[in-house]
Chain A
Amino acid sequence: MAEATTTQASGAASTSAAPGGSPAAGAPGAAGDRPVKIIGIVCNWCSYAGADTAGVGRFKQPANIRLVRVPCTGRIDPLFALKAFEKGADGVLISGCHPGDCHYSEGNYYARRKFELLERMIHHLGIPKERFKWTWVSASEGQRWQKVVTEFVAGVEKLGPREGRAL
């Protein structure tokens, strides 16, 4: 029973956007000129909130990142990053609280061990290490978030979209 209704429609938005015809939805298989697509996995308390702060401050960023929110970077299995690459992500960004600032005291230390290791061995899987980044952005660091995203996207763009989607 699918049905679209409009409550108090503002009229500000047009309904003419062409479904599926969006620029970022290129096929990873057919790399070419499509925009790169990056998966960001961020902790709820620092980096997700830092991205919020960037939004509130209207700090413009490239639109290539899609964020997955988790409570803590300590909850992130390195497999999540590999899964993203397997499914065709052109880059993976992981960001949490600065050391000492973890909402859960020490979750980010467990994350640090794992991602330090993943960063060092990821090229063995045929993925250049420039496609993977882990960092810290606090809830008040809107500008830092903007910088991290802008620089990481630029780096991945330099490599271009990945050919093929398998690892």
Chain B
Amino acid sequence: MRIGVFVCHCGSNIAGTVDVAGVAKRALSLKDVVHAENIMYTCAEPGQAAIQKAIQDKKLDRVIVAACSPHMHEMTFRRCVDNGGLNPYLFEMANIREHCSWIHTDMPVATDKAWDIIKMAVAKARQLEPLWANEVEVNKDVLVIGGGVAGIQAALDLADAGLKVTIVERETTIGGVMAKLDKTFPTIDCSACILTPRMVDCAQHENIDLMAYCEVDKVSGYVGNFTVDIRKKAAMVDWVKCIGCEICVQKCPSKAPDIFNVGLEPTKAIYIPFPQAVPKRAAIQVDYCRYFTQGKCRVCERVCPAGAIDYEQKEEIVQKRFGAIVVATGLDVFPWEERYHEYGSGKIKDVISGLQYERMLNASGPYGGHVHRISNGEDPKTVVFIQCVGSRDESVGRPYCSSVCCMYTAKQALLTKDHCGMDTEVYVFYIDIRATGKGYEEFIKRVQTEFGVKYVRGRVSKLYEENGKVMVRGSDTLLGEQVEIAADLVVLASGITSSPGAVELAQKLNISYDEFGFMKEGHPKLRPVETNTAGVFLAGACQAPKDIPATVAQASGTASKVVGLLAKDKLKTSPMIAIVGQKDCVSCWKCIEVCPFSAPEKLEVRPGEFKSHVIETVCQGCGVCVANCPVNCISLKGFPTDAILDQIEEVLLV
């Protein structure tokens, strides 16, 4: 065996704490190691060339790169050794950066640990065998989960590329949060004018199947071959017959909370969220419907000209198959009422959230765009905006910046002047102004100078009612004094939180998520739209708070990645899978019992004699069967038991 060890400096990232030249030299003392060198940047062109040259010159049959995490560059180096003429699975990575140089400061200690890590990699490499990837047929249909602007953009891009797309949206209409917005920053474009034609495009596109009022129930399979159970919720209205005329909504006697209008005014138990809804179909909120709660009413059934009301409608599960899945589940607004008791916990009528204000400003909102005090309907003379409510506030468990509030607050401040007159007093309390997008800083300046919005740097400590006003007590940290403003209306720039159900969905898809429920990308820079589960991609605010331009850009990026994946007719699958040594198999079928993917099957090896056999294209390589086989006859390629034990032994050897 001829092993080559390449120790990376990674500039000073590794060499600053680990004596790379020393360990490289020492690696030559290891059995089978015939070549060792330290390289400044192993992943760069000269570094890769050095590896390939050494494979040729020294006839290496195993390559170790001691550098960063395999999650960072394992694929890079597998390609490198492949191009250098070595089977890519005879490569092993020793992580001496993330797991060593970056977490230790003492050079002798870090060097010693790096040495151990390299020894372990060499020990493992001795047990590796050449492997060859399998190929599997690809289903070219794509599932987009979420019909907000991210899902719409991704779906349209994919459909335009010729792929069949299914959008699953849990509300009765697509559009998401953007459909609720009045204008968009920094151009003050009408949000609906941008979005609603795109929504219509989705509904009319020959390649898009729009499944509104549906949820993803169950996901199985793997990249190229996902099977998804989609639950069609019961709208109690036959959507094939419903024509969206809204007569039922007008005649319905029962009120129900209006989620679309963020609870500003009630809607009816049978509802259509907004006039431009796509699909424009009615649904009954059964918890509020008089017929479902009291057993009589049926007004909607009587007035419906299409005969679409169906009180007996049941949920149904539709099973579909996809090659790739795009998660675009978006965001929710931070529930400030639960955490900001100093702001009245939602009990002060004239204190509303930014999204509620958006609905108030919107001409198709519940007030026809009339900005007024909720308490008495009067036009406000003084409006106060408070930023960072549920963002950058560790006291409510939200340390992150929601990234859009500075800009939407400035936009709303401008629109306040526009709706209520330039003589309206508008104040914005802020911590910092974060206006990093194209034309954003200029927009803030314009709001401050041209529109005379007064920016006060400081937090508001308390909101309380006095003499019919909302008293805003806070500090101006630039002037170093306390301020108190008697406001007619207070708008809280409530931050972004992950969409309800995001974590449950992530678990169904086997993708990672963070403590706030935002889904984790494969790598922030190398794989920003992929997840660590092959075939599952991210778009929009489900990954992190972001504004509309960033969301749309990411969605298009995601779509292009999906197109790239599905452009191939066959996919290469990882060859690091389980294999059964049938000679020793005792046909106990324990492997079949434990496999999460139903990869092992009973194979008739001789008439009447069945042994376990792992279907190569189904196996995902978890190794659960290996650890559960009572006779140890299953091996996991790439992670053989001997390699694991040798690593342990190597590091403990004296």
Flag whether A66 is at the interface (Cβ < 8 A).
Answer: yes
Q: Which residues of B contact A (CB under 8 A)?
A: 9, 11-12, 15-16, 18-26, 28-29, 33-41, 46-47, 50, 58, 69-72, 95, 97-100, 102-106, 108-113, 115-117, 120, 506-507, 510, 512-515, 520, 532-533, 576, 594, 596-597, 620-624, 626-628, 636, 639, 641, 644-645, 647-649, 651-654
Q: Are A70 and B623 in contact (CB under 8 A)?
A: yes
Residue of A75, A76, A146 with most partner-chain B CB within 10 A? A75
Q: How far is the CA of A77 from the CA of B627 in the complex (A)?
A: 5
Q: Are A3 and B35 in contact (CB under 8 A)?
A: yes
| Chain B: CB-nearest residue to A97 | B512
A-B contact pairs, 16 of them (CB 8 A): A1-B58, A3-B28, A3-B34, A5-B37, A10-B15, A23-B108, A24-B116, A26-B654, A56-B102, A60-B103, A63-B113, A66-B113, A67-B95, A67-B99, A83-B645, A103-B510
Distance of B412 from chain A, by nearest CB (Å): 33
Q: Are A17 and B19 in contact (CB under 8 A)?
A: yes
| Chain A: CB-nearest residue to B576 | A71
Contact of B28 among A2, A27, A55, A101 (CB under 8 A): A2
Q: Are B623 and A74 in contact (CB under 8 A)?
A: yes
Given contacts A70-B623, A107-B596, contact A10 B113 (CB under 8 A): no
Q: How far is the CA of A48 from the CA of B513 in the complex (A)?
A: 15
Distance of B621 from chain A, by nearest CB (Å): 6
Contacts of A22 in B (CB 8 A): 108-109, 111-112, 115
Contacts of A45 in B (CB 8 A): 512, 532
Interface contacts beyond A17-B108, A48-B69: sample of 11 additional A-B pairs, CB < 8 Å, sorted by A = A7-B50, A8-B39, A10-B12, A13-B38, A14-B19, A49-B532, A61-B104, A66-B113, A66-B120, A75-B623, A87-B652
Flag whether A135 is at the interface (Cβ < 8 A).
Answer: no
Distance of A154 from chain B, by nearest CB (Å): 16
Q: How far is the CA of A17 from the CA of B107 in the complex (A)?
A: 9
Interface size on A, residues (CB 8 A): 75
Q: Are A68 and B110 in contact (CB under 8 A)?
A: no
Q: How far is the CA of A103 from the CA of B102 in the complex (A)?
A: 26
Q: Are A37 and B651 in contact (CB under 8 A)?
A: yes
Given contacts A51-B99, A69-B70, A140-B514, contact A63 B110 (CB under 8 A): yes
Q: Are B648 and A15 in contact (CB under 8 A)?
A: no
Q: Are A17 and B648 in contact (CB under 8 A)?
A: no
Distance of B58 from chain A, by nearest CB (Å): 7
Contacts of B102 in A (CB 8 A): 55-56, 58
Q: Are B654 and A80 in contact (CB under 8 A)?
A: no
* Interface flags, A54-93, vs B, CB<8A=1, else 0: 1110111101001111111011110010011001110000
Q: Are A4 and B28 in contact (CB under 8 A)?
A: yes
Contacts of A23 in B (CB 8 A): 108-109, 112
Given contacts A22-B111, A46-B512, A66-B651, contact A10 B40 (CB under 8 A): yes
Q: Are B654 and A10 in contact (CB under 8 A)?
A: no
Q: How far is the CA of A89 from the CA of B507 in the complex (A)?
A: 35
